[in-house]
Structure 1
Amino acid sequence: MSADKTVLITGASSGIGRATAELFAQRGWTVAATMRKPETSDLASKSDRIRLFKLDVTDQASVEAAVADVIAQCGGIDVVVNNAGYGLMGPFEAQTDEQIRRQFETNLFGVLNVTRAVLPHMRERRQGRIVNVGSAAGRMTLPLYSMYSATKWALEGFSEGLWFELRQHNIKVKIIEPGMIKTDFFERSREVATKPGLTAYDDFVAQVAPNLKAWEEAGAESDVVARSIWRASTSIWPRLRYQPNATFTVWGRGWVPGHLYVRLIRRLFNAW
């Protein structure tokens, strides 16, 4: 793919989204970096190829307005990177219906909203790529992340199904399944669910949470995922899934017997 292309990235204010925006700009692409509060971001100062747009993936009107603005200002959209998301952590019993719905609205329905908005444009041009940032937690599960994993597992099914549908229109679908990455996930992009009076899980949380955080701190940098997104966006190889810093983890899920794999995860995170 030539350099005179435009990529729209959701959740570009920090972490993987920001690293991806900077990488594409460095390599000559026009970057439509979208976020809920572009007025608070300094990302546009990093390159004259980066333009900021206001977009809330949970608001269909906001999505449609942003997509229309990007097409008008940039001349088209060649690649969409559905990156916006966050993690809801904590025992399922402590999670409210509102918290669970918000997790799905952002991580799953937000992707559907953006994808639905760009597909008519891509079909008309008979070209485009949809790159969905999932997680290794969409192929496995982690203790205390039942709802986060549920959204990422659902994203896997949606992406693979869409892959079949869009081939006839020359639109490619890719799934990025990162392992643990050093971002501000634990400080900025995570919500911890608690319930007054519910103490039955306190010991379990106290055992597991430090190990989850330690695993994140030992993870790869966001740039590793950004490079995988770049490959998924530009490679001619007909590959559906990419696993930056997660190849062994995902491979193990497919080949290690289930009861042994679960025991390995329990031991890794002290989830007894």
Structure 2
Amino acid sequence: MSIFSDLRTNKVHLQPNTDYSEKMKKTIFITGASTGLGKATALLFAKKGWQVIATMRNPSAGAELESHENIHVLALDVTNPEQIAAVAKEAVGRFEIIDVVFNNAGYGLAGPLEGIEDEQLVRQLDTNLLGVLRITKAFLEHFRENKKGLFITTTSIGGHVTLPFNSVYHATKFALEGWSESMWFELKPFGIGIKTVAPGGITTDFAGRSLDKGLHPAYQEKLSTFIDILSSPERRKNYSTADHIAEVVYEAATDGKDQLRYIAGADAQNAFALRKQLSDEDYLKYADKRFFGE
């Protein structure tokens, strides 16, 4: 591959780009690309002829992606500011123009707040929220100097609608939606766009691989009831595939619309519409009855 990483030093090495045809291709920079939505998005954009910089904490997980001539795998931990700065600098140096930055790295943290350790709390905020801000900041100067560029961030329907026992996760996703809306004003004068893609359930291993948990005996009965409902086959059959959500990301990247939010997946769209219809009080009563029969 033309790009490789030195995991011992956290340095990234990229060969200079001398291929004119490659320079003419558009380029997307993706975080959290090892599995699920990130991987599906990398493959889709590569299939569409884009140059894809697919980043992940452990590049060995990107073996399948590396076999594609348009995909270049890099080591990147979004909680490491020094590594972010180095990777962004080298990516710009290699490709000259980055057209889209897709902030996708993240994971879930579930459970009652009283059962969540401070280390878990900090890690969730550091990855889901601060990681996005760091990545965005690292590419701002490049976009501003070129008077173009687009940031797309995976939020979640959980940035619009809440569920029990997901308070910290919701805090990060609601924050990203508010941050993105505010950033729109900052970026507009420089010709830079910003969008969010808010999926519902995705039929990947996110819940198992990318889910951290907090437990506390005082909440266990209700938590067990909630988990049973959430993991039921009836609910999961409404989830979208990662490929379907990747198509929404591609739409957001290429439709030329000044549209801030893309609600992705039928379950997310239904939940979003319902939440818009109900007052805060009515939604809380509805959700409480749905999950706990109260």
TM-score (norm 2): 0.87
My pick for the range that moved more, 56-65 or 260-269, is 260-269
The equivalent residue for 1:262 is 284
Distance 1:43 1:119, change over 3 A: farther
Deviation for aligned residue 1:270: 3.4
Report what 2:18 is aligned to: none
Structure 1 residues 86 and 3 mapped into 2: Cα distance closer, same or farther (>3 Å)? Answer: farther
Instruction: Give the Å deviation of 1:247.
Output: 1.6
Unaligned runs of 5+ in 2: 1-22
Which residue of the partner structure matches residue 209 of structure 2?
188
- Per the alignment, residue 228 of structure 2 pairs with 210
**SS, match of residue 55 in structure 2:** strand
How far apart, CA to CA, are the structure 1 residues paired with 2:134 and 2:223?
34
Residues 149/216 of structure 1: CA separation in 2 closer, same or farther (3 Å cut): farther
Q: What is the DSSP-based 3-state SS (H/G/I as helix, E as strand, rest coil) of the residue aligned with 2:102?
A: strand
Contact map agreement 1:208 1:271 (CA 8 A) in 2: no
Provide the identity percentage: 39
Q: Which of 154, 157, 165 is residue 136 of structure 1 equivalent to? A: 157
CA-to-partner distance for each residue in 1:103-153, whole Å, 9 max, x for gaps? Answer: 000000000000000000010111100001101111111111000000001
1:114-193 to 2 correspondence within 5 Å? 114-193=135-214
Distance 1:160 1:262, change over 3 A: same
Secondary structure in structure 2 of the residue aligned to 1:53: strand
Q: Partner of 1:113 in structure 2?
A: 134
Could you tell me how far 1:257 is from its partner in structure 2? Answer: 2.3
User: Offset of 1:3 from its aligned partner?
Assistant: 7.6
CA deviation vs aligned residue, 1:69-89 (integer Å, no higher than 9, x gap): 211222221100000000001
Aligned counterpart in structure 1 of residue 82 of structure 2, from 58, 61, 68? 61
Determine the structure 2 residue equivalent to 1:238. Answer: 258
Which has more radius of gyration? 2
Give me the whole-angstrom Cα distance separating, in 1, the residues matched to 2:143 and 2:125: 25
Please, what TM-score do these two structures have when normalized by structure 1?
0.94
In the TM superposition, residue 217 of structure 1 has moved relative to its aligned partner by: 5.3
Per the TM alignment, residue 256 of structure 1 is displaced from its structure 2 partner at its CA by 1.5
Aligned partner of 1:166: which letter?
A: L
**Alpha-carbon offset, residue 221 of structure 1:** 0.5
CA deviation map 1:158-193 (0-9, x unaligned): 100001110110000001111111111111000011
* Counterpart residue identity of residue 230, structure 2: L
For residue 43 of structure 1, report the CA deviation from its aligned partner: 3.1
Cα distance, 1:266 vs structure 2: 2.6
In the other structure, the counterpart of 1:253 is: 275
**Aligned residue in 2 for 1:220:** 240
The 1:172/1:269 distance shift into structure 2, 3 A limit, reads same
